[in-house]
Structures are given as structure tokens and as C-alpha cells.
Amino acid sequence: MHQKVLILDFGSQYTQLIARRVRELNIYSEIIPFDKAPKDFSDFSAVILSGSPFSVRSDQAPSPDLSGVKGKLPLLGICYGAQFLAENFGGKVEASNTREYGRARLKYIEEKDEFFSGISPNAQVWMSHSDTITALPNGARLLASTHDVQHVAYAFEGEPTYAIQFHPEVYHTTEGTQLLKNFLVTIAGLKQDWTPNAFIEETVDALKTQLSDDRVILGLSGGVDSSVAALLLHKAIGERLHCIFVNNGLLRKNEFESVLEQYKGFGLNVKGVDASQRFLSALQGVEDPETKRKIIGKVFVDVFDDESKQVEQAKWLAQGTIYPDVIESVSASGGPSVTIKSHHNVGGLPDYMKLKVVEPLKSLFKDEVRRVGAAMQMPPELLGRHPFPGPGLAIRILGAISADRVELLQEVDAVFIEALKREGLYDKVWQAGAILLPVKSVGVMGDERTYESVVALRAVESTDGMTADWVDLPYAFLQEVSNTIINRVKGVNRVVYDISSKPPATIEWE
């Protein structure tokens, strides 16, 4: 059994990044909402308190009982967590005169403390809070300050309890990973043994126990997630895994045929099901994005229900659900963070479908899935494939969906993706695609007026999809792609490029 870190979630937008940073250290972590904290913490080797949109001075502020943790387990409070420890153990927290947000520099470090071992005295950190600690709690000593904030880091004497006002998990805290390593490895003494190979071995063993001699149906998409899930299940149950690739009519150009060919070399038992008309008919006239997702989810389940009846003794439906899907659909482990959008492959099945769900990847971020795939020697071209949304082009066609609009967007998308690959840009982009907008614009071709569709191109860089930034593609490249799309794809006379980051936008438009 691996040692585990409990991340107590107070609703911070960064909680999932804490988990990811801990896992990058090859240490397993779990996120649990503050209001579902366990009474017995014996399963955990360290605890981290997250940030929060709440103020500790508010009557509605999260206030968990830490009597089973503080002084008994290594404990790290981050932002709200640091303020909570101060407020509840003899310190004082007050509203700041100014909101403390953005980059800052550590100007004082207690160099003898191993918590800051290897950290530059002038290290850059990231602040995001409107309250400030004006008095340290009883028995605490100051470790670090910045120009504007006195009590940036402190520790309790005689116990492994530390608190920091900044966020070590975000990119802008340049030495945040080292700080977390100091706390978890040096101070807490945790072993760094949660590796891709360990995950594979343990997951395969768990699947063998969970599935026994049952047969499993898996929906393949051609993407990394479902592919890695398929290989894990194949290792566990072999030919009792029945893979089904559904053509929902919303895939990329020629993707249905190419994906089926790709999986033949994997030794998987794969069946292709063309249900495109079924999906497109159900989506006819629908414009609302959430309604689209729910319709696609329902038809997806219906198709698998039909197919499951053709597989004797099929009792399980396997899905390539990953952690960001779960987070955005139901918030972190059911915690207080806000639901952004639903995902078609997250949640339970309807009563009439006699299949149980198995999701071997639901605790992994996208980058972790790729590392697991690499450890199983999956081809680089498949591991490097851009993520593609489960609902497919349905959420890249804003407004009503029709076969004609799908075909138009498939052609545009093909031009864009082929150009990225040809120019050596594909592997430098985390995800790229085209969006068909629900507007038309006036144009001129030759001496004739046109009134045709507008498409947007989207390319982002990210590591796990939780945050993303737009890619600064060369102007010459965008010019060439735009000209090719307008000249080759009938019905498009204008191309725009999306330069929005996540947050505040999402990667997909719907």
C-alpha cells in the first residue's frame, strides 16, 4: 500500500493542481471535501489544507475539526488553510487594505528550517487572497515574508505543522514543487513510489478482483484515454473485453475507418457500430449545449445497451473517464467547487441498462494517463494525439446540428490539423480544432457577393486541461490555413482565431 496525502478541499479553484503537483512527486494524493473529512485519519500520512473562496471571518466559512490531525500528522495549510490555522489557534486574520493578488518575492527566510531547503531567498511566489494574517497563532514562529505581507509562512514549534499564504501549486510560484517536496519527503518522510508502473500493476490486480470472470464492454474513441483504459482491461481480462467503437456522426473526417484499423494491431476485440443517423436524428433542431450533451449521453447509453445484449454475459461498461471530467461535472469529489459543465461519460447508468460501470482512469489527470500509456509501450503517435471531446463536433458546432454542417466542419478541421502536422506544430499544441459559429458574414469572391459561414480556429497549450493558454501560432501559418479553408471548403468565407485562455474561457466553446 502506498502512503497517501489527504488534500482537504475548501473549494479553491487550485485544489486539483495541488493534487497534480503531489502526484508529480510520485506520491499518491486524494481530494476530500472539508465537510466530508474522515473521523479517522489513520489511512493518511500527511494532510494539506487548500485555499478557498471563503473568508475565515465569515459565518459561512468552512471549519473542519482538525483535532485528529494537528500535532499528530504532518500538516500544511495553503492560503485559506494558513488563515484557518491562524484564526483557530490563537492568531488573528483581518481584511487587507488592498487585495493581495499576483506575483511576489520572498524577502525573508528562516534558513535553518528544512521547509525552505533549496529555495532561493528571493523566490517568486503567487498570492491570491483578500484577508491577511496580522498575528501568528500561539506557538508559531515566522518563516518568511514579502514586501507587502509580513506573515507569509510560519510553523508551529514542536510539531510538523506549516502554513503558507501563497500558492505553491501554481506555475507562477517558480519553486513550489521543491517546497512541496521539502514538506512531503523531508519533513513528512513519505516515499516517492507511486509511479506509472506501480499504477499499472495495482490497477490490473484490482480489475481482476473487481471483474472476476465477467465480460466487459468498452467504448473506444480513438483517443488516449479510452485506449489506455482498453489496454489496462485487456491486461486484466484478455478476450473477455469487448471493445466497441461507435460512429456518432460527429467524428473527424475519415476517423471511423482509421480508428478501427488502428486498433487491429493492438490485439483487441473491436467492433465498429455506425449509429450516426441515430445521433443526428436525436440532435435535430437542438441548439442548447447542455441539452446536446445530455442527448448524446442518452443515445450513447442506448447504443451500448443494444450492443451489450449481443455480448453474452456482459455485466460491465468500461469508460475512459479521467479526473478533470469528474471535477468539471460534479465538483471535486462532491466538494463545494462550482460545476462547469456535464460530461456524457460521467455518472451512473439508467435503471433499464443492466450494466455496471468500471472506470480505471477516473483518478488520473491527462498527463498521468499518457505516462501510463508510455509505460505500456503504446505508439507515440497515439499517445501524442490531441484530446477530442466525447460529444465530438456537436459541441464545436454552435447552434443547430445537421449533416451538412457536420461535413463542413469536418473539412475545415481536416485542413487545420493536417497543416499543423505538416508544419511540425501539432506536437507543440496540446489541443486544436475548429468551431463552426452560428453566424454568417458578407464576403466577396471574384466579383460576387457571398454570405457564408464563419469558423474559429482554436489551439491551446496545457498539461492536464484544468488550465490552458492559447498558442501563439505564426501569422504566416494562420494566413495560409485561412486561405486554404476559404478556397477549399465551400460555404466558409471568414476564419478567426480564438485567443482566450482557460480560465476565464473553457477549451471547448460549448
Q: How many CB atoms lie within 10 A of CB 193?
A: 11
Catalytic site includes residue 243:
no
Phi, psi of 380 (to 5 degrees): -55, -35
Question: Strand (E) positions, 176-294?
Answer: 215-220, 241-247, 270-274
Task: Give the C-alpha separation, 493 to 485, whole Å.
Answer: 8
Catalytic site includes residue 129:
no
Q: Of residues 87, 100, 151, 169, which has the active-site annotation? A: 169
Task: Give the C-alpha separation, 453 to 399, whole Å.
Answer: 12
DSSP states along 31-78: EEEGGG--S--TT-SEEEE---SS-TTSTT------TTTTTTS-EEEE
Asked if 236 and 321 touch (Cβ cutoff 8 Å), the reply is no
Cell numbers for 122, please give them. 528571493
With H, G, I as helix, E, B as strand and everything else as coil, classify residue 27: coil
Report the candidate in 405, 407, 414, 402 with the shortest Cα–Cα distance to residue 457: 414
Task: Give the C-alpha separation, 419 to 408, whole Å.
Answer: 17
CA distances from 178 to 31, 103, 106, 151, 168 (A): 21, 18, 15, 20, 9
Phi, psi of 49 (to 5 degrees): -95, 125
Q: Of residues 129, 167, 242, 344, which has the active-site annotation? A: 167
Beta strand 270-274 with 241-247: parallel, antiparallel or unpaired?
parallel
Q: Of residues 79, 129, 234, 242, which has the active-site annotation? A: 79
Asked if 7 and 76 touch (Cβ cutoff 8 Å), the reply is no
Name the residue with cell 505538416: 422
Question: Strand (E) positions, 328-392?
Answer: 356-358
Cell numbers for 299, please give them. 443515445
What are the catalytic residues? 79, 167, 169
